[in-house]
Amino acid sequence: MDTGGMRGDPGQLIHRSLDFKSQGAQCYKDKKYREAIGKYHRALLELKGLPGERDSAADSPQPDRLTEEQRRAVEGIEVDCYNSLAACLLQAELVNYERVKEYCLKVLKKEGENFKALYRSGVAFYHLGDYDKALFYLKEAKSRQPTDTNVIRYIQLAEMKLSRSSQREKELS
């Protein structure tokens, strides 16, 4: 009997997680970003109750291990939630670029080609003052979508910052 703890049937946990993710998406569409952040966090929290790699250290066979299909679903939910969390944070009045970077890097660890995560990582690194890393991620994003005007604009901004700082270094030496 489930007593409301974090553990539960993997199918139910994944289903609840998808529900929260959908609610988060609706909140985002309605421009209720704080509410959306809460829903995406709840979706991720539901997944914490699943048997995962943390449990695999034990050699005992586990009847509640995830199927391949469930594992793919979980990964998809995580990628979508972290990507959406980054999008929500970028809408804030005071953006926490460190957190945006953290969420995007989690997405890129699972999906290195993810355009939105590449672009948002570039934006985060730009605003954190790491223009080299910003350019790296932005150029990766540009290689996926060469005509995206936001990517092109941030590449130009990062290149300007880098050329200014190298000019200052020349003046100082």
- Residue 7: what pLDDT? 57
Range of the domain at 19: 1-54+66-94
- What pLDDT, in 10s, does the model give residues 98-140? 999 999 999 999 999 999 999 999 999 999 999 999 999 999 9
CA angle 15, 70, 53 (to 5 degrees): 115
Residues 4 and 71 in one domain: yes
Residues 8 and 42 both lie in one domain: yes
* Domain match, 47 and 128 both: no
What CATH number should be reported for the domain holding residue 122?
Answer: 1.25.40
> Do the domain assignments include residue 161?
yes
Q: Which of 159 and 64 is assigned the larger pLDDT? A: 159
Phi, psi (rounded to 5 degrees) for 114: -65, 110
The pLDDT value given to residue 125: 98
Contact between 66 and 52 under an 8 Å Cβ cutoff? The reply is yes
In a domain, 109, yes or no: no
For 28-74, the pLDDT digits (tens) are: 999 999 999 999 999 999 999 888 644 444 443 444 688 999 999 99
33 and 90, same structural domain? yes
Same domain, 1 and 86: yes
pLDDT tens for residues 69-108? 999 999 999 999 999 999 999 999 999 999 999 999 999 9
Same domain, 76 and 145: no
pLDDT at residue number 57: 41
Task: Identify whether 101 is part of a domain.
Answer: no
Co-location of 28 and 71 in the same domain: yes
Residues 118 and 71 both lie in one domain: no
The pTM score is 0.84
Q: Are residues 44 and 5 in the same domain?
A: yes
In a domain, 3, yes or no: yes
Residues 89 and 119 placed together within one structural domain of the fold: no
Statement: residue 2 has pLDDT above 80? no
Both 2 and 70 in one domain: the answer is yes
Which pLDDT score is estimated for 51?
80
Query: Does residue 38 sit within a domain?
Result: yes
pLDDT at 58: 43
pLDDT category at 3 given cuts 50, 70, 90 is: very low
The 3 state secondary structure assigned to the chain is CCCCCCCCCHHHHHHHHHHHHHHHHHHHHCCCHHHHHHHHHHHHHHHHCCCCHHHHHCCCCCCCCCCHHHHHHHHHHHHHHHHHHHHHHHCCCCCCHHHHHHHHHHHHHHCCCCHHHHHHHHHHHHHCCCHHHHHHHHHHHHHHCCCCHHHHHHHHHHHHHHHHHHHHHHHHC
Domain membership flag for residue 108 = no
Residue 105 lies in a domain: no
Structurally, the chain folds into a number of domains equal to: 2
Do 75 and 142 lie in one domain? The reply is no
pLDDT at 64: 60
In a domain, 154, yes or no: yes
